[in-house]
């Protein structure tokens, strides 16, 4: 087993160059986020992740969770770990001070979350889903609901869960059948079943606050007739204490490829007809309300890709440095060397490192845009930041989770037969990573969102502004391949926009390739920016020369070896859905 070490120098550099860290204190809401405080938080978070959370990762994978008497039981090792997380106030970093939070940038909180996720991805889903529920209640709930639920959710004493999916309603949420009947006292009686509910029940928090999508009587069909309800596991008394158990329970647990310690629940509401729910926001506005939670979760899931890529990279690099096998190519000596000396192994390690660092920079930029969208003083700046965040969200989610799977697969390959067997632990990263491109909107849906909504938003001003920024950098100081990548990305965008509604199937057929191109070019730009800063610091004798040289090499590798394959996607994007729709459905089935 490889121990996890929080990459504090890399995380801090990414915050400085992509996450807006030098600008944090210029925003009144973040004036406390000075260098000393930030450094202390990152240092302590690294200790927590490496020393307390990471040792539970393998335990959770082996032991999993169990359902006993309608309660999900987690591994014993999780309880002191969760207590340390809660008692340390780690879930309060970016929450509003009015509700018991510390009011620090969400970008800083994201950096902390990355470390927690690398340490134990299955556990990290608990605070991730809770944070999304907090955001949805804060944005759409009443003052009474915020006062009743948010303080304990923010501290982590209570947790939150998102309840959308049903057996007949997956990506097509509008097909859901869960119901909510209004009662004379203003509450609702919720009934129905939800599946794939992450951390829908567990024994770590005192209460679980479910956000449930359901239909009111006579509601319109489809997504226009969905409302959102708070359904607590335990009802909350007027004085804030816990009351009776609500009529909601986990009836079974899914047996999964990975994230074994994250309970994936089948939840039943209203078996006895007494499941009490409380309307959140307006009737029939539940889908819009839920997107507040889902957009938060999508960036968080993208971060899972980065985090698992980092953990897998560390494991593979450690193994490659120790594993002695074969003579070094090109050396006159026939003495066997560590496999880290072999070019193909270095290719795999560099690919893992470069894509992890690129995705980290993209996500930190995405979250910094969200911070500005909520907190910038100027209306125009907030609007521009929101547009950028909306554009980057599907890229953060899909690109980062795709490279997370790829990096985990490469880690298995680097470790060879020792990677394929379970006892070394590297296979767990591969199994755990595979869910991330699926949940919170599949990566195919993210690609459709990018080409169908985000390219056309506000007349295309947001993607065009980003193109102009990348083009200017590439023309002044970026590598030649970056300029080629930006040109290919612009040409691809123009081709998709010109398709219009007449060729919407071609746009859909090209969507995944376009998102990959966008993510890869943006990653090349972010890393090239970082390499430029590293070069400046080297010349000035500032900071760690060894780290800065490694950053320059990593960026160069990305542009020389990863970016060209993405540029080659342009013909596929221009081809659209050609040949995809030609065969009859039955011809896909082997006879």
440 classed as catalytic: yes
User: What domain range is 133 assigned to?
Assistant: 54-88+120-284
In contact, 340 and 353? CB cutoff 8 Å: no
Look up residue 587 and give its DSSP letter: G
Strands 248-253 and 179-182: unpaired
530 domain residue, yes or no: yes
pLDDT more than 90, % of the chain: 94
Does 567 fall in a domain? yes
Among 218, 250, 284, give the residue marking a domain's end.
Answer: 284
Amino acid 60: pLDDT: 98
Residue pair 345/299 in contact by the 8 Å Cβ criterion: no
Q: What is the pTM of this model?
A: 0.96
Residue 486 lies in a domain: yes
Q: What is the pLDDT of residue 235?
A: 98
| pLDDT tens-digit series, residues 131-157 | 999 999 999 999 999 999 999 999 999
If you compute the radius of gyration of the chain from its CA atoms, what whole number of angstroms results?
24
DSSP label of 450: I
Q: What is the pLDDT of residues 419-462, one digit of tens each?
A: 999 999 999 999 999 999 999 999 999 999 999 999 999 999 99
Domain boundary among 284, 309, 341: 284
Q: Is 49 exposed, middle or buried (0-12, 13-18, 19+ CB in 10 A)?
A: buried
What is the band of 168 on the pLDDT scale with cuts at 50, 70, 90?
confident
Question: Which pLDDT band holds residue 291 (cuts at 50, 70, 90)?
Answer: confident
Residue 238 forms part of a structural domain? yes
pLDDT at 415: 98
Distance CA 423, CA 429 (A): 12
- Which residue among 257, 284, 311 closes a domain? 284
Residue-wise pLDDT for 179-234, tens only, equals 999 999 999 999 999 999 999 999 999 999 999 999 999 999 988 999 999 999 99
CB neighbours (10 Å) of residue 25?
Answer: 16
CB 499 within 8 A of CB 378: no
CB 300 within 8 Å of CB 132: yes
pLDDT reading at 1 higher than 70: no
> Over 80: is that where the pLDDT of 110 sits?
yes
pLDDT at 308: 98
- Strand, helix or coil for residue 238: coil
**Half-sphere exposure (Cβ direction) of 153: Cα atoms closer than 13 Å:** 31
144 domain residue, yes or no: yes
Q: pLDDT confidence of 170, banded at 50, 70, 90?
A: low
| pLDDT at residue 454, rounded to an integer | 96
For residues 577, 580, 582, 588, the Cα torsion angle rounded to the nearest 10 degrees is -160
* CATH number, residue 152: 2.40.110.20
Residues 115 and 121: their CA atoms lie apart, in Å, by 10
364-378: b or e for each residue (b if 16 or more CB lie within 10 Å)? bbbbbbbbbbebbee
Of the residues 114, 304, 440, 574, only one is catalytic, namely: 440
Average pLDDT over residues 295-306: 93
Residue 78 lies in a domain: yes
* Stretch 64-72: mean pLDDT: 96
For 264-288, the pLDDT digits (tens) are 999 999 999 999 999 999 999 998 8
- Is 376 among the domain residues? no
What is the rounded distance in angstroms from the CA atom of residue 12 to the CA atom of residue 42? 8
State pLDDT tens for residues 483-528.
999 999 999 999 999 999 999 999 999 999 999 999 999 999 999 9
Q: What's the domain count of the chain?
A: 2
Q: Which residues of 270-297 are buried (b: 16+ CB within 10 A; e: fewer)?
A: beeeebbbbbbbeebbbbebbebbbbbb
pLDDT digits (tens, 9 = 90+) for 398-426: 999 999 999 999 999 999 999 999 999 99
Compute the residue count for the chain.
Answer: 591
pLDDT tens digits along 516-545:
999 999 999 999 999 999 999 999 999 999
Element (H, E) at 527: helix 504-540
**354, 316, 324: which is closest to 341 by C-alpha?**
324
Average pLDDT over residues 244-249: 98
Nearby residues of 40 by Cβ (< 8 Å), 6 or more positions away: none
Q: Is 341 a domain residue?
A: no
């Amino acid at each position: 087993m490889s121990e996890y070490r929080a990459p504090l120098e890399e995380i801090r550099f990414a915050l400085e160059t992509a996450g807006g860290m030098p600008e944090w204190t210029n925003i009144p809401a973040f004036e406390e986020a000075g260098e000393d405080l930030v450094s202390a938080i990152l240092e302590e978070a690294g200790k927590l992740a490496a020393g307390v959370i990471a040792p539970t990762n393998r335990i959770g994978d082996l032991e999993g969770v169990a359902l006993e008497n309608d309660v999900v039981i987690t591994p014993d090792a999780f309880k002191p770990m969760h207590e340390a997380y809660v008692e340390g106030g780690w879930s309060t970093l970016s929450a509003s001070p009015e509700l018991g939070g510390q009011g620090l940038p969400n970008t800083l909180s994201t950096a902390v979350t990355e470390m927690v996720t690398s340490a134990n991805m299955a556990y990290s889903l608990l605070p991730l889903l809770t944070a999304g529920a907090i955001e949805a209640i804060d944005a759409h709930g009443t003052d009474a609901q915020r006062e009743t639920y948010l303080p304990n959710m923010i501290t982590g004493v209570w947790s939150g869960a998102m309840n959308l999916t049903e057996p007949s309603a997956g990506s097509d949420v509008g097909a859901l059948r869960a119901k909510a009947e209004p009662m004379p006292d203003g509450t609702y009686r919720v009934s129905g079943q939800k599946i794939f509910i992450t951390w829908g029940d567990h024994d770590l928090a005192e209460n679980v606050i479910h956000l449930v999508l359901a239909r009111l009587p006579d509601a319109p069909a489809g997504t226009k007739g969905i409302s959102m309800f708070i359904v607590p596991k335990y009802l909350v008394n007027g004085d804030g204490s816990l009351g009776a158990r609500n009529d909601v329970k986990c009836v079974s647990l899914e047996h999964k490829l990975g994230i074994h310690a994250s309970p994936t629940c089948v939840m039943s509401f209203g078996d006895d007809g007494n499941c009490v729910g409380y309307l959140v926001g307006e009737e029939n506005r539940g889908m819009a309300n839920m997107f507040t939670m889902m957009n938060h979760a999508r960036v968080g899931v993208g971060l899972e890709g980065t985090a698992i890529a980092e953990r897998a990279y560390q494991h593979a690099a450690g193994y490659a440095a120790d594993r002695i096998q074969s003579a070094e190519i090109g050396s006159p000596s026939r003495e066997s060397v560590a496999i880290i000396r072999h070019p193909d192994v270095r290719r795999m390690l560099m690919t893992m490192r470069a894509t992890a660092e690129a995705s980290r920079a993209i996500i930190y930029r995405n979250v910094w845009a969200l911070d500005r969208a909520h907190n910038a003083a100027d209306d125009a700046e907030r609007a521009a930041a929101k547009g950028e965040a909306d554009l980057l969200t599907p890229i953060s989610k899909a690109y980062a989770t795709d490279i997370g799977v790829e990096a985990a697969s490469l880690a298995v390959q680097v470790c060879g037969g020792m990677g394929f067997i379970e006892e070394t632990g590297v296979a767990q990263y591969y199994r755990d990573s595979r869910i991330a491109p699926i949940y919170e909107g599949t990566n195919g849906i993210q690609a459709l969102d990018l080409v169908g909504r985000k390219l056309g938003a506000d007349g295309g001003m947001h993607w065009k502004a980003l193109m102009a920024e990348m083009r200017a950098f590439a023309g002044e100081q970026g590598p030649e391949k970056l300029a080629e990548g930006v040109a290919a990305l612009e040409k691809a965008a123009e081709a998709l926009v010109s398709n219009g509604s007449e060729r919407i199937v071609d746009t859909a057929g090209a969507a995944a390739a376009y998102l990959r191109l966008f993510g890869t070019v943006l990653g090349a730009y972010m890393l090239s920016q970082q390499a430029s800063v590293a070069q400046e610091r080297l010349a000035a004798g500032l900071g760690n020369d060894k780290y800065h040289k490694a950053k320059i090499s990593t960026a160069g590798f990305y542009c020389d070896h990863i970016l060209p394959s993405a540029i080659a996607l342009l013909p596929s994007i221009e081809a659209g859905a050609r040949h995809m729709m030609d065969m009859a459905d039955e011809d896909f089935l082997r006879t």
